[in-house]
Amino acid sequence: MGNSAGRSDFEWVYTDQPHTQRRKEMLAKYPAIKALMRPDPHLKWLVLGMVLAQLLACWLVRGLAWRWLLFWAYAFGGCVNHSLTLAIHDISHNTAFGTGHPAHNRWFAIFANLPLGVPYASSFKKYHVDHHRYLGGDGLDVDVPTRLEGWLFCTPARKLLWLALQPFLYSLRPLCVHPKPMTRMEVFNALAQLAANATIFTLWGLKPMVYLLASSLLGLGLHPISGHFVAEHYMFLKGHETYSYYGPLNWITFNVGYHVEHHDFPSIPGRSLPLVRKIAPEYYDHLPQHYSWVKVLWDFVSEDSLGPYARVKRVCKLAEDGL
């Protein structure tokens, strides 16, 4: 199946994550950045449009042959559903209605979740706060693969399989690394999803449900947009744990590629992240960056130095509030 990848452990560091200090420096030097910390008025309308587009697609695929259904699930539905997960990511930072309306943001994320076919939004928010607060934190940041993943997916063929299995691994990893009690919002998320699925199945039959689920599984698996999973934090260059992507797919992914900027200022909506780089170019232009998520995926599979182990890890002290 190919040669084993070169790494046999994570890249352990004994320093704090870099984004906290960068944030302090940049805000002191460029206080105008604070003005970008406001809701994105366009986000709710974009999400509404994507949800309606997937409902229309459900109606259109009712009579399609299975091979064409799967084709459109990958080519169109995969893009839309993956983009919706990134809208949910943005909404998890309260960018739809602002920090003063957290409940509005939580319920709107559940609405954005409906075309995905499986409940996701509320669980994502519960764990995503730890990813920012404890970046690379051992046993805390569930974005980092497990040791089993690092040991098992260590050849080109196995790494290709790992990429295809991302939706499953990303969902199951928190239960192994840092299990948390189920919240009330997660129950509401599941009930809303079950109601939506039952309605679609009752109205239009099996094929629309297969289309939605295939859109999620294929779009979050071995798909060009999934390059962001690897591009964001896998160590392509020693000493750097977060990378930005400045290619065209940012147009359909809420600028998730501006990932260094995002970790510097999580409360700034994706729509405004390019302005951060424009205001403070000296903090970003010299950093290693990506321009193709497809190349990211190719390099990840083909280079021995890259694999699930190619992540920075650190031991983090829990914050006092226990989050």
107-149 pLDDT, tens digit each: 999 999 999 999 999 999 999 999 999 999 999 999 999 999 9
- Alpha carbon distance 187, 305 (integer Å): 41
Is 198 inside any structural domain?
A: yes
Q: What angle do CA 161, 162, 167 make, to 5 degrees?
A: 110
Number of domains in the chain: 1
Q: How many Å is the Cα radius of gyration of the chain?
A: 20
Q: Are strands 289-290 and 11-12 parallel, antiparallel or unpaired?
A: unpaired
- Asked if residue 4 is part of any domain, the answer here is no
Q: Which tokens sit at 308?
A: 């699930």
Cα separations in angstroms, 58 against 88, 201, 217, 279: 21, 10, 16, 43
Q: Which range marks the domain in which residue 66 is found? A: 11-314
Q: What's the token pair of residue 103? A: 């409940």
pLDDT tens digits, 181-232:
999 999 999 999 999 999 999 999 999 999 999 999 999 999 999 999 999 9
Q: What are phi and psi of 64, to 5 degrees?
A: -75, 150
Residue 108 belongs to some domain of the structure: yes
| 289 sits in which H/E element | strand 289-290
> Alpha-carbon distance 177 to 140, whole Å?
7
- Which residues, in sequence order, are bridge partners of residue 290? 245
> Do residues 119 and 193 touch, judged by C-beta distance below 8 A?
yes
- Shortest CA distance to 109 belongs to which of 86, 88, 80? 88
**Is 257 among the domain residues?**
yes
Residue 3 resides in a domain: no
Report if pTM > 0.75.
yes
